[in-house]
Structure 1
């Protein structure tokens, strides 16, 4: 069992001083040999969808590559999150090697702009960046790449087929904002909950926005026992 411990530090309702202190613990020791063990690889073979946070590029990129290549060879869906600006900056080579296998790329506006800067794209326009990422060459033509970029309170950007669609987020009164840590992960969780059911992208984004909206009204990455999803 992998263990990652994250401590969230919040100062005031304005979210100033928001930070995360992570202890990768056992996760930092992960090796591809563990993934290749028959009982573990059997789980990979059974799956139809794969989602990997970009943070894992700092630990075992060869493990990610194994899963990504398996997904491409078997017409499965592989997804990745940009995760953090420093991943785009300091793990650029590993990220570039993996990107041709990625069918869905998730990230926020800061990560997208860092990705653009690192690759010499002379634009900070998130919509343009999302399109460029979606048009990055693919290793398999089975699935087109869709780029999903969140922008906090601003509309979520979805780039597909060379076009952009904007999705407004759920408006939240300032006094109800408690903790934005985990909002991006919650968004992806909501998004994937619909994607694996074969729902259209519009429904996936709606579910993602809902999940993120719930998380930011609570301290820590917690969820109410009886969420009211509409």
Structure 2
């Protein structure tokens, strides 16, 4: 796998009884909505961690990253990784597919994107010497990230809508790639 060249270890569940899943995207003018049926994810089980290479990845990992799917499908798996990161002062990262402004309303924080991102980064954490960082994209609006209590904004380059191809199916992972690379290089190089 090409990511292993860069030191990324992944462990996928492969099961001949279940298809990976499928997704559909509805597009109306410039609005997009995605629906997904994720058979592979829905059949993930904590035992997967004990299979070939799983324990080695857990024991040697510097960072642990999980998408939000595992929180509903296998919370035991998530907590195993969280506890391992906590015990060994490693970084645990999550990607939740959440609209920040909705999160701000639900938690009665604010509708201001910078304030929501700052409050997310200030949430209590288990332990460790690493600070909480948070980031939210806001579509075509300015993206906001907080690291070490500092609010950073990133303007989105304006492009004509016609040549844009939305690759929404990999949205969560692709949106996390740049922030993860930045954190690894700039913030946790001694991890």
Shorter-chain TM-score: which interval?
A: 0.7 to 0.9
Is 2:20 the counterpart of 1:32?
no
Q: Which residue of 2 aligns with 1:224?
A: none
Provide the rounded CA distance (Å) in 1 between the counterparts of 2:138 and 2:87.
33
In structure 1, the partner of 2:153 is 166
2:139 is equivalent to residue 152 of structure 1 = yes
Distance 1:177 1:76 in 2: 38
Q: Distance in 2 between matches of 1:34 and 1:180?
A: 29
Moved more, 32-41 or 144-153: 32-41
Q: Does 1:56 align with 2:70?
A: yes
- SS of the equivalent of 1:66 reads helix
1:30 match: secondary structure: coil
Residue in 2 that maps onto 1:218: none
**1:191 aligns to what?**
179
CA distance in 1, matches of 2:52, 2:166: 41
> Is residue 126 of structure 1 aligned with residue 113 of structure 2?
yes
Of 123, 141, 165, which residue of structure 2 is paired with 1:136? 123
Q: 1:141 to 1:113 in 2, by over 3 A?
A: same
Give 1:50 shift: 1.5
Kept in 2, the 8 Å contact 1:9–1:20? The answer is yes
What SS does the corresponding residue of 1:21 show, helix, strand or coil? strand
Describe the shift of the 1:39–1:186 C-alpha distance in structure 2 as closer, same or farther (beyond 3 A). Answer: closer
Could you report, residue by residue, the CA deviation over 1:166-204 in whole angstroms, capped at 9, with x for unpaired residues?
1112222222222251444322123323433x1369xxx
Q: Contact conserved, 1:6 with 1:20, CA < 8 A, in 2?
A: no
Are 2:22 and 1:9 aligned?
A: no
Return the offset for 1:38.
7.2
Aligned residues: 171
Q: TM-score, normalised by structure 2?
A: 0.77
Unmatched segments (≥5 aa) in structure 1: 85-110, 202-230
Partner of 1:100: none
Please list every run of 5 or more consecutive structure 2 residues that lacks an aligned counterpart in the other structure. Answer: 1-12
* 1:65 maps onto 2:79 in alignment: yes
Cα deviation for residue 125 of structure 1 reads: 1.0
Instruction: Please state if 1:116 is matched with 2:104.
Output: yes
Equivalent of 2:61, from 47, 65, 70?
A: 47
Following superposition, the deviation at residue 10 of structure 1 comes to 4.4
Give the aligned CA root-mean-square deviation in angstroms: 2.4
1:5-44 Cα distance to aligned partner (Å, 9 max, x none): 23232446x334x332322213212222332457422221
1:150 shift after superposition: 0.7
Distance 1:200 1:52 in 2: 19
**CA–CA distance in 1 between the matches of 2:24 and 2:181?**
25
- Compute the displacement of 1:63 (Å): 0.6
